[in-house]
Structure formats: C-alpha cells, structure tokens
Amino acid sequence: MRLRTLAMRGYEAARRRYRDLKRACYRYMLNAPTLELHFPCFIEPLSGLRVGDRVAINAFVHIWANQPVTIGDDTMIASHVQITTSTHSYAVRPYRDHRQDAPITIGSNVWIGTGAIVLPGVSIGDHAVVGAGSVVTRDVPAGAVVVGVPARIIKTL
C-alpha cells in the first residue's frame, strides 16, 4: 500500500509540473502572462487568438481561430464553450468545398457561461453576459445579458 501511495504522489507531482509547463508555454506564445488557462482545451490555430490581461479560459473550451479571435481584459470563459470563426455555406454543394470565415471580438469583462456557442462574425460588447447553453448568432451590445437558442437579450446591466 505504501508503494502505491508513493507512486500516486509522484504521478500527481509530475502531472502538476507538466500542466504548469504547458500553461507557461501558452502564456509565452500568446504573449499573455496573466492568462488563466485550464486543461484540456483546444485552440487552433494558436496564432489566430489575441487575449487581454487576466483572461480566464476554463477546461474543455474549443476555439477555432481561422480568422482573428480577440478577447478583452478580465473576460471569463466557462467550461465546454465553443468559439468558431468558420462555417460552411448551405448554398454551395458539396458543403465541404466552401468554408466561410469571419472574425470574432469579445469585449472586456465579459462572462460566457458553460456550454455556450459563439458563431462566426459575432462581436460581444464590454460587460456582457452570455448565459449557459446559449448560441450567439448576432452581435451582443455592451452590458447586455443574453440567453437561449438563438441568444436573445433579456436584460441590460
């Protein structure tokens, strides 16, 4: 039993060191020393992401940044959020042959709730809140609270 305990402690210590090293690499590559990043997460390509100060990206977030994705200061992105700059036109067949890309801008002090989806070309204003599970298909004004599928404004802060 003692050997198993020692092995587990060694494994956990190595895992923490690996996670910390990986987080440091992301911070360096994104030039974001205050980025709070929880793994696993997926960002592709990394060069398409721009983050401000004190941004928090939780686990299981997917960011497809074929066009620029800009995230402002003090923004929190909860787990299982999907942010994508790419879609396909339903007017062109086969669908795979024509990808449409549009940039996404997320303002400062924004909170995006668990499981939300942000689609291409959307801009989310400063101090906005996106409710859990919402699908953001249009721009969100500053200070708005949006929920639903598609996301609709329910309150202004």
Residue 69 · residue 88 · CB < 8 Å: no
Res 31: pLDDT:
94
CA distance 24 to 14: 15
Res 1: pLDDT:
61
For the stretch 7-40, pLDDT in tens is 888 888 998 999 999 999 999 999 999 999 999 9
| 104: enclosing H helix or E strand | strand 104-106
Average pLDDT over residues 111-115: 98
Q: 42-76: buried (b, 16+ CB within 10 Å) or exposed (e) per residue? A: ebeeeebbebbeebbbbebbebbbbbebbbbebbb
Joined tokens for residue 77: 């992105």
CA distance 86 to 17: 34
Band of residue 97 on the pLDDT scale cut at 50, 70, 90: confident
Fold classification of 34-156 (topology level): UDP N-Acetylglucosamine Acyltransferase; domain 1 (2.160.10)
Of 38, 62, 80, 88, the active-site residue reads 88
**DSSP SS3 for 148:** coil
Band of residue 51 on the pLDDT scale cut at 50, 70, 90: very high
pTM for this structure?
Answer: 0.90
Res 95: pLDDT:
84
88 annotated active-site: yes
Q: Say which DSSP state 40 is in.
A: S
Q: Which residues are CB-contacts of 79 (< 8 A; sequence separation ≥ 6)?
A: 38, 58, 59, 60, 61, 114, 115
Question: In this structure, how many other beta carbons lie within 10 angstroms of the beta carbon of residue 119?
Answer: 19
How much of the chain, in percent, has pLDDT values that exceed 90? 82
